[in-house]
Amino acid sequence: MGLALAGAGVVLGLAWQMVSNSFQSLGGSAVKDTPEQVVSVMLERTFDYARQYVGVMGWLDASLPTVTYVVWDAVAMGLLVGCLALWRGRRRIGIVLLSAVILLLPVVFQIPAAPELGYIWQGRYILPLVVVLLVACGFSFEGLDFQSRPARTLLKLTVFCLGFANFYGFVWVLRRYATGIGNGIFWDEFFGSPKWQPPGGLALIALLYCAITVWGSLACIRYLPRRRLIDAEDEQLESERRFRIAAGDDRG
């Protein structure tokens, strides 16, 4: 159902772009690349756009700390690979098709735009579909048994790493606005003499973000799915046994 809604959203999005011609409002420098060259360039930039799924701040001039990208990339890849390993049939095909859409849709949009506007694509333009993909992949882990100590420890470490990466990235962006980021600009200026502060001050907003991150992390750990993954054949046998019990015949 979710993939069907995602597909409908893609179709409606394409239709809106064609009707509204919204790319005409974007500024850019036209290029004379052929469609084949545009395809090549866009595919080469795939992982550059993937960084923007996590975040590139300001006027695309402020990248997040490397650790933030590494953690998110590792988690996203783990979700995708795990999903393809756990799901079969139509569900696996759906994930593959959605991944292909995320990979190829920027190319489809960019081919007609390049001769007039140049390369104007940004990763955030397709971020909603990336979120749908990751959420769908997450559902594939729903039936796994997370009650064993190694599994729960792994999940706790994953949630902790995500929380730390997000918090560090948030403080890094605060630093970008408070003092700037570059050679000769150090953390002592951020803590001691910032040129800009949000309402309430840097410390308050950082502590609030930290508190929300900790609360969200604890909530994720507490409400993780705890059902054991049951093989389809065993599940069928269990259903038959329950049927016999209900019918008053539990000889088998």
pTM, entire model: 0.74
69 alpha carbon, distance to own chain's centre: 11
C-alpha angle with apex 244: 241 to 250, nearest 5 degrees?
85
Residue 177: strand, helix, or coil: helix
End-to-end C-alpha distance for the chain, whole angstroms:
38
Tens-digit pLDDT profile for the chain (252 aa)? 555 666 676 677 667 666 766 655 566 678 888 999 999 999 999 888 999 999 998 888 889 999 999 999 999 999 999 999 988 888 899 999 999 999 999 999 899 888 888 888 998 889 989 999 999 998 888 777 777 778 788 888 999 999 999 999 999 999 999 998 888 888 888 888 899 988 888 999 999 999 999 999 888 887 765 444 444 445 556 666 666 676 665 554
Contacts of 29 (CB under 8 A, 6+ apart): 117, 118
Question: Do 46 and 122 touch, CB atoms closer than 8 A?
Answer: no
What is the distance between the alpha carbons of residues 47 and 73, in angstroms, rounded to a whole number?
10
Question: Do 6 and 132 touch, CB atoms closer than 8 A?
Answer: yes
